[in-house]
Amino acid sequence: MDCNKVGSLLFRLRKEKGMTQKQIADLMNISDKTISKWERGLGCPDVSLLGELSAIFKVNIEKILEGELEVNNIDTGNLKRMKFYVCPSCGNVINNTGDASISCCGRKLSPLIAKPADEMHTATVEEIDGEYYITFSHEMSKTHFLSFVAYVTSDRVLFVKLYPEQTAAVRLPKLSGGKLNHKYSGKLYYYCTKDGLWVL
């Protein structure tokens, strides 16, 4: 741990919060001289205090230890680069379009890799009254089911959460004027709790 880098980061984070050294010290039940020492690079926070610093500044502990925050490239806004993440512990679904460090239940998550639909994970798409009616011949038991369906175009995402023991079907409005899965229109993603992410 480079105390100079850590100190510079803590100084910057404190200024961003508009707080004094004393205010931070009072929150942590330590002296403001300790905060001053850290910010000048004359020492580093004890490991036991990193959790409190993380909570105060809303920064991951590992970033405090590294002493720097990396800024991602600006997201250009094309949602077709959407990435999906599912927590293996709680089933939480997270999505994003840019570079991100995603975690849930203490685990770092990797983006799911979508596989082309196969015979077991196929969908039937019908156009009814200006909407897509999509059905899946997929088990919907408590241990093996489709957890979500997402229709993604370049500027919109329609996300439908599915639950065990319900019908494996969704109705989605047509977006962007084209056919589902036409190269200028959208893609349909769906997530199986056992076999991962699929794309049609």
DSSP state of 97: S
Does 3.40.50.12500 match the CATH number of domain 113-199?
A: no
Q: How far is CA 123 from the centre of its chain?
A: 26
Asked whether the whole model's pTM tops 0.75, one would answer no
What residue ranges do the domains of the chain occupy?
A: 3-66, 113-199
Could you tell me whether strands 169-173 and 131-136 are parallel, antiparallel, or unpaired per DSSP bridges? antiparallel
The pLDDT value given to residue 173: 87
Angle at 162 between CA 160 and CA 168, to 5 degrees: 105
Helix axes 50-57, 21-28, angle to 10 degrees: 130
Question: 3-66 maps to which CATH number?
Answer: 1.10.260.40
pLDDT along the chain (200 residues), means of 10: 92 93 94 94 93 92 86 66 91 88 89 91 88 92 95 87 94 69 72 94
The pLDDT value given to residue 144: 95
